[in-house]
Structure 1
Amino acid sequence: MAVSTRRAPVRDADMQRLRGNTRSSLRRPRGPAASGRSFDATLHALHELATSGAKVSVRVTDLDRDTVVFSGDEHQLLPVGGIGLVPLLIEVAAAFESGTVDPFEIVERTRVEPVGIAGVWQHLKAPALPLCDLAVLVAATGDALAANLLLERVGLEAVRRRIESLGFAHVALLDGFRDTRGPDDAPQVALGSAGELAAVFAALVNSKLVSPAVSAQVAEWLSLNHDLSLVASVTGLDPFSHDDDRHDLLFINKTGRADGVRAEAGVLAGPRAGVAYALLVGFDDLSIAHRLRVHEAFRTFGVDLMDHVF
């Protein structure tokens, strides 16, 4: 069954451009292809975080060659918060395509326990929405209530089987969102490694997740993401409308947040290069200064990424 939403699908030409035209196949760009560009500032910022006790995992992958541009502790498994919703969206899109789930099936929000941590549906008057609209809310705003309803509809085991079938052993959605976590609940919403999360996004824009249609649908949903406050803060993109940038900057991403957790994974493509990336940081959130230092490291990473693709 074809997926239907209120927006046109991602165009094939857009997917081709998202794949990029990169030159570097080294862990740190160097030589003529790099034109003097490097990730030295990122290295310094992440080293400072690590020496302060933070756990850091990072990976940047050349989209054309599937080679490492930059990495550090890329196999380390860390909490990733809302990035764990990407496997959920993959399973939902696959269920829509196969016809096992109707995208226009209306679900009542009272089917799951109220959760007030993130999202907009809890503030809306509509008591029910179609599943395809819930996917938009999840991708655009990280809506916890919409995510829990999608998870209730397709099932956590189906999400786990799907991501494992795609060959990802270090990306896992463990639970839905909860206002409080008890001793019998999973301690985190999701876990992942930078290496595999970058690989998920690379496969996504290369149309290799389940099918080209499923890949395009998930990429379309994620192109709506409003959270451009971490890596993407340096792009200058409009958080509410960035899927058709006049300067040919093509971008999709998903962020994750929790106490002591900041994470982002995505794809960034400019006229010179295209990369898939992931940066995960676990830190002691002891003060606003600790948090802002982590956010600044994400921004530094974003500057280096922009320098690389442009």
Structure 2
Amino acid sequence: MGIAPEPRRDAESLRSSRRGGRRLPRRAAVGRRSFTATLKALDELAASGARISVRITDLDRGTSVLAGDDFVTLPVAGLGVVPLLIEVASGFESGSLDPLEIIEKSSIGPVAGAGVWQYLKAPALPLSDLAVLAASAGDALAANALIGRVGLPAVRARIEQLGFAHTALLDLFRDERGPDDAPHVALGSARELAELFAALVNSSAVSAGVSAQVAEWLSLNQDLSLVGSATGLDAFDHENDEHGLLFVNKTGRDAGIRVEAGVLGGPRAGVAYALIVCFDDLSIAHRLRAHEAFRTLGTDLMEYVF
């Protein structure tokens, strides 16, 4: 039987410690709470034919700050690993999975997607290290190893248990998708992705221990190139920010797909957010326009929480 690793802190204390005790009066920042720039950027993307789903929820009030087609189900690429990580952490906590169980690289089909394990000499790694790689580096090989160990049916059952009807992990990560493969690795809606991250920091995703473990893994994510670019955080070391900024995120990327969901907390407020953009990746200009919308959202979110 496995022994679940003890989280360094529960998710609630994680959020509280980085938010700090002092808040600006709500009225003092009324002029900074507009998401006009974000709406303009998203409108321009939509006018060019992009499909967009966006949701921002104030964590303190539990109310929607911004929503646009947030109920629409769209492909979310690598963001599908979040419910996978929840299932893995749940297995660690219950003892049905051993964090030190070794998985051989040779037992997993090759995939040349994102990640670093394919370049490492290590022929095998424990499940706990694979979870870190999947969360921090978007490692497709590590994610496939975890999927192979827990199984897609278990992840789907976990998603259902969490109460999400528009989120699904459909398949392994693949270099090419044939006619017999699922068309996408994962699907989701901005509303449910934002709710999922809110559940993680509010200690309600399965249990406080599971929530804290998954939040800890995701806090190691090194992709701060989209929304995260506005935070000014060190992409390789942002777990304990000296300015009290809490940032936990996960991105998803595929051809014509950019997705990010997470939690951003500052001294004045905290938000859970998700943005899905599916666009025609016809040129670098098209891609950069999509990226810029995420960065604009990041700037508006920073103004909201500080």
Q: TM-score range by the shorter chain?
A: over 0.9
For 1:132, the equivalent position in structure 2 comes to: 128
Counterpart contact for 1:59–1:70, Cα < 8 Å: yes
Q: 1:298 deviation in Å?
A: 0.5
Change (3 A) 1:302 1:236: same
> 1:42 corresponds to which residue?
38
Deviation at 1:11, TM superposition (A): 6.5
Q: Pairwise mapping of residues 50-199 of structure 1 onto structure 2 (< 5 A)? A: 50-199=46-195
Query: Any idea what SS the aligned residue of 1:65 has?
Result: coil
Deviation at 1:73, TM superposition (A): 0.6
The CA RMSD measured in Å over matched residues stands at: 1.9
* Structure 2 counterpart of 1:16: 16
TM-score using structure 2 length: 0.95
Residue aligning to 2:207: 211
User: Aligned to 1:151, what secondary structure does the other structure show?
Assistant: helix
8 Å contact from structure 2 (residues 19, 244) kept in 1: no
Alignment check: 8 A CA contact 1:20 1:63 kept: no
In 2, the alpha carbon distance for the partners of 1:221 and 1:272 equals 25
Match for residue 256 of structure 1? 252
Secondary structure of the structure 2 residue equivalent to 1:159: helix
CA contact (8 A) 2:140 2:173 kept: yes
Partner SS, residue 277 of structure 1: strand
Listed as ranges, the gaps of 5+ residues in structure 1 are: 24-29
Residue 245 of structure 1: SS of its match in structure 2?
Answer: coil
Distance 1:275 1:230, change over 3 A: same
Q: Is the 8 A contact 2:57 2:65 kept in 1?
A: yes
Match of residue 242 from structure 1: 238
The answer (yes or no) to whether the contact 1:78–1:193 under 8 Å persists in 2 is yes
Distance (whole Å) between structure 2 residues aligned to residue 9 and residue 33 of structure 1: 31
Q: 1:40/1:242 Cα in 2 relative to 1: closer, same or farther (>3 Å)?
A: same
For each residue in 1:210-231, what CA deviation from the matched residue of structure 2 results, as whole angstroms up to 9, or x when unmatched?
0000000000000000000000
Question: Percent identity among equivalent residues?
Answer: 68
CA contact (8 A) 1:256 1:264 kept: yes
Q: 2: CA distance between counterparts of 1:214 and 1:45?
A: 36
Count of paired positions: 303
TM-score (norm 1): 0.93
Q: Deviations over 1:25-46 (max 9, x none)?
A: xxxxx96663442000000000
Q: Is the 8 A contact 1:81 1:258 kept in 2?
A: yes
Displacement, 1:102? 0.5
Contact 1:19 1:206 in 2 (8 A): no
CA deviation profile, 1:65-114 (whole Å, cap 9, x unmatched): 21101111100111111000001000000011000010100110111111
Q: 2:11, 2:211 within 8 Å by CA — same for their partners in 1?
A: no
Measured in 1, the distance between the counterparts of 2:224 and 2:191 equals 21
SS, match of residue 13 in structure 2: helix
SS of 1:168's equivalent in the other structure is coil
What do the CA deviations read for 1:218-275 (whole angstroms, capped 9, x no partner)? 0000000000000001111000010100111110000000000000000000000000
CA contact (8 A) 1:61 1:69 kept: yes
Partner of 2:216: 220
Q: How many angstroms does 1:3 deviate by?
A: 2.3
* Other-structure match for 1:4: 5
Letter in 1 for 2:295: R
Q: Name structure 2 gaps, 5 residues minimum.
A: none
- Alignment partners' CA distance in 2, 1:260 and 1:276: 24
CA distance in 1, matches of 2:130, 2:91: 14
Which secondary structure does the structure 2 equivalent of 1:34 belong to? Answer: helix
5 Å-filtered alignment, 1:28-39, equals: 34-39=30-35
Letter in 2 for 1:77: T
